[in-house]
Structure 1
Amino acid sequence: MGRRPEPHIKERLLDACADHVLAHGLPDRLEPLATATGTSARMLIYHFGTRDALLRAVHGRARQRQLDTFGDLLRVRPDEPYTATLYRAWTSITGPDGQPYLRMFGQLRESAEQKLWPNFRRTATTDWLGPLEDGLRSIGRPDLATLVLAVIRGLLMDLDATGDTTRTDQAFHDFLGAVEHLSSDGNEATRAVSDLPM
Structure 2
Amino acid sequence: MSRRDELAERATDHALEHGLIGLSLRPLAAAMDTSDRMLIYHFGSKDELVAAVLSTSNDRSMAIISAMPPSASVAQAVIDLWDTFTAQQVQRCQRMYVEAAALGLFGREPYVSSVRDSNLVWIAAIAGHLAASGAAEQDAPRLATLVDATFNGLMLDRPLDGDAALRQVVEDLASALAR
Q: Please, what TM-score do these two structures have when normalized by structure 1?
A: 0.74
Query: Quick check: 1:34–1:40 contact (8 Å CA) kept in 2?
Result: yes
Residues 45-65 of structure 1 deviation map (CA, whole Å, 9 limit, x = unaligned): 122122222111111111211
Residues 54-84 of structure 1 deviation map (CA, whole Å, 9 limit, x = unaligned): 11111111121122222333x525xx33432
Cα distance in 2 for partners of 1:158, 1:36 equals 32
Match of 1:85 in 2: 77
Match of 2:86 in 1: 94
Match of 1:184 in 2: none
Match of 2:46 in 1: 51
Match of 1:23 in 2: 17
2:173 to 172, 175, 178: 175
Runs of 4+ in 1 over 4 A off after TM superposition: none
RMSD: 2.4
Residues 2-23 of structure 1 deviation map (CA, whole Å, 9 limit, x = unaligned): xxxxx72222111100111011
Give 1:144 shift: 4.5
Give 1:25 shift: 0.6
Q: Please, what TM-score do these two structures have when normalized by structure 2?
A: 0.81
| Higher RCO by CA contacts (8 Å cutoff, separation 6 or greater) | 2
Alignment-mate amino acid for residue 159 of structure 1: M
Q: Percent identity?
A: 25
- Tell me which structure has the larger Cα radius of gyration: 1
Aligned residues: 172
Alignment-mate amino acid for residue 63 of structure 1: N
Cα distance in 2 for partners of 1:135, 1:81 equals 10
2:96 to 98, 101, 104: 104
Give 1:30 shift: 0.7
Flag structure 1 segments of 5+ consecutive residues without an equivalent.
1-6, 182-198
Cα distance in 2 for partners of 1:156, 1:118 equals 17
Residues 90-125 of structure 1 deviation map (CA, whole Å, 9 limit, x = unaligned): 112123222211221111111212311334454343
Alignment-mate amino acid for residue 25 of structure 2: L
